[in-house]
């Protein structure tokens, strides 16, 4: 049995709970969990915000752990390796899969998310607020030695989620990049874009995030609601990454900041539908899209790039047993910028 922290209902608290893990398959590894970040998705899932959650749910998909056992067919990892697991734990990874063959394995029809997911054999997936997890070895990534476990955890979801579209778009030196929302994702997006040589503008409604944003590599800081500052950004960007899921986000203003042919990329999911005037698209000639999470290839690249360019999340550490306190800090919007729960 694995001892974990489970939630039983929307807005519920986490409590100790044990479950029988699915049998260790030939391609699986078992990890002793060292630590796990708290991602906004954890709370959306606990609360059934994105559709009915199957309770009890054990969330957590920024997992760092030590391999304690492995299936017979696992060749990429050894017992004792320190690895990370992100938001996905399985996909077919076959060359004839339209998703996996194009490094879009998060969209594989056989994709299994780290928690609240269902394996082909019908077993549920349980996440990292736990003493242990079992996952497909293809989704357990060796952590570069330079990166501490607690700092590596948020790279597994938040880091890979923001870096993946930067890779897809081929961001390069001199590109003008905006980041809306300076939180768990945004504070990493600033660092990646800056390390890629981009001109980075950070957008936030909190003036008190200016100093930190500049320290993280932003070249300009704009208070979103300040009309003069907002006007100074008209057609000033090639890419705008939206990491805030605030329902008060003003997309007409976002469109105005992006130059002709530029892209707006959604990385957060507002609870309410977006209502947009079609003329926004036509008159600005701006593209609006999004990106899900990092796949196998981009998670590896995220870890390598983070190690090489000294990109680290700003974290608050708490013991795993204080997971309810951590969740509450996220609910209250108090975290700067990621909570990591340690066993
Ligand atoms: Zn996440
Ligand atoms: Zn596939």
129 in a domain, yes or no?
yes
Q: pLDDT tens across 77-115, in order?
A: 999 999 999 999 999 999 999 999 999 999 999 999 999
Q: pLDDT tens across 285-297, in order?
A: 999 999 999 999 9
Same domain, 102 and 20: yes
Edge to edge, what strands does the sheet with 199-204 contain? 220-223, 199-204, 176-180, 237-242, 258-266, 287-290
Q: pLDDT tens across 215-226, in order?
A: 999 999 999 989
Residue 200 CA to residue 134 CA, distance in Å, equals 39
Q: How confident is the model at residue 144 (pLDDT cuts 50, 70, 90)?
A: very high
Same domain, 169 and 142: no
Ligand 2 center to 337 CA (angstroms): 33
Q: Tell me the three state secondary structure of residue 22.
A: coil
Q: pLDDT tens across 262-277, in order?
A: 999 999 987 788 889 9
The confidence score (pLDDT) of residue 273 equals 86
122 in a domain, yes or no?
yes
303 in a domain, yes or no?
no
Checking if the pLDDT of 7 tops 90, the result is yes
Enclosing domain of residue 49: 2-147+313-342
Same domain, 216 and 104: no
260 in a domain, yes or no?
yes
Ligand nearest to the CA of 104: 2
327 in a domain, yes or no?
yes
Ligand 1 center to 153 CA (angstroms): 10
Same domain, 199 and 77: no
297 in a domain, yes or no?
no
- The CATH number assigned to the domain holding 89 equals 3.90.180.10
Same domain, 42 and 172: no
Q: How many domains does the chain have?
A: 2
* Secondary structure (DSSP) of 150-172: HHHHHIIIIIHHHHHHHHHHT--
Q: pLDDT tens across 172-189, in order?
A: 999 999 999 999 999 999
300 in a domain, yes or no?
no
56 in a domain, yes or no?
yes
Ligand 1 center to 260 CA (angstroms): 31
The confidence score (pLDDT) of residue 133 equals 98
- The CATH number assigned to the domain holding 276 equals 3.40.50.720
Same domain, 135 and 209: no
Same domain, 8 and 143: yes
Checking if the pLDDT of 299 tops 90, the result is yes
Ligand 2 center to 315 CA (angstroms): 34
């Amino acid at each position: 049995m694995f001892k974990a922290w489970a939630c039983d209902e929307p807005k519920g608290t986490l409590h100790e709970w044990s479950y029988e893990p699915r049998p260790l398959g030939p391609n699986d590894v078992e990890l002793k969990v060292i630590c796990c970040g708290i991602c906004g998705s954890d709370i959306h899932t606990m609360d059934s915000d994105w559709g009915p959650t199957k309770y009890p749910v054990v969330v957590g998909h920024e997992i760092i752990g030590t391999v304690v056992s492995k299936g017979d067919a696992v060749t990429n990892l050894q017992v004792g390796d320190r690895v990370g697991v992100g938001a996905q734990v399985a996909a077919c990874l076959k060359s004839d899969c339209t998703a996996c063959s194009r490094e879009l394995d998060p969209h594989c029809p056989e994709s299994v998310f780290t928690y609240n997911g269902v394996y082909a054999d019908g077993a549920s997936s349980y996440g990292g607020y736990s003493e242990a997890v079992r996952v497909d070895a293809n989704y357990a990534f060796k952590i570069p030695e330079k990166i501490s476990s607690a700092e590596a955890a948020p790279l597994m979801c938040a880091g890979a989620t923001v870096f993946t579209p930067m890779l897809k778009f081929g961001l390069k030196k001199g590109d003008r990049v905006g980041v809306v929302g300076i939180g768990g994702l945004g504070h990493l997006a600033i660092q990646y874009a800056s390390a890629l040589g981009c001109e980075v503008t950070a957008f936030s409604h909190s003036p008190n995030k200016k100093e930190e944003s500049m320290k993280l590599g932003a070249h300009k800081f704009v208070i979103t609601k300040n009309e003069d500052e907002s006007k100074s950004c008209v057609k000033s960007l090639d890419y705008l990454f939206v990491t805030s899921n605030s329902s008060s986000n003003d997309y007409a203003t976002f469109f105005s900041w992006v130059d002709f042919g530029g892209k707006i990329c959604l990385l957060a999911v507002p609870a309410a539908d977006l209502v947009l005037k079609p003329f926004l698209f036509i008159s600005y000639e701006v593209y609006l899209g999004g990106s899900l999470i990092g796949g196998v290839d981009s998670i590896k690249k995220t870890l390598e790039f983070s190690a090489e360019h000294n990109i680290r999340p700003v974290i608050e550490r708490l013991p795993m047993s204080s997971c309810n306190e951590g969740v509450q800090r996220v609910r209250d919007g108090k975290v700067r910028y990621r909570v990591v729960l340690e066993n």
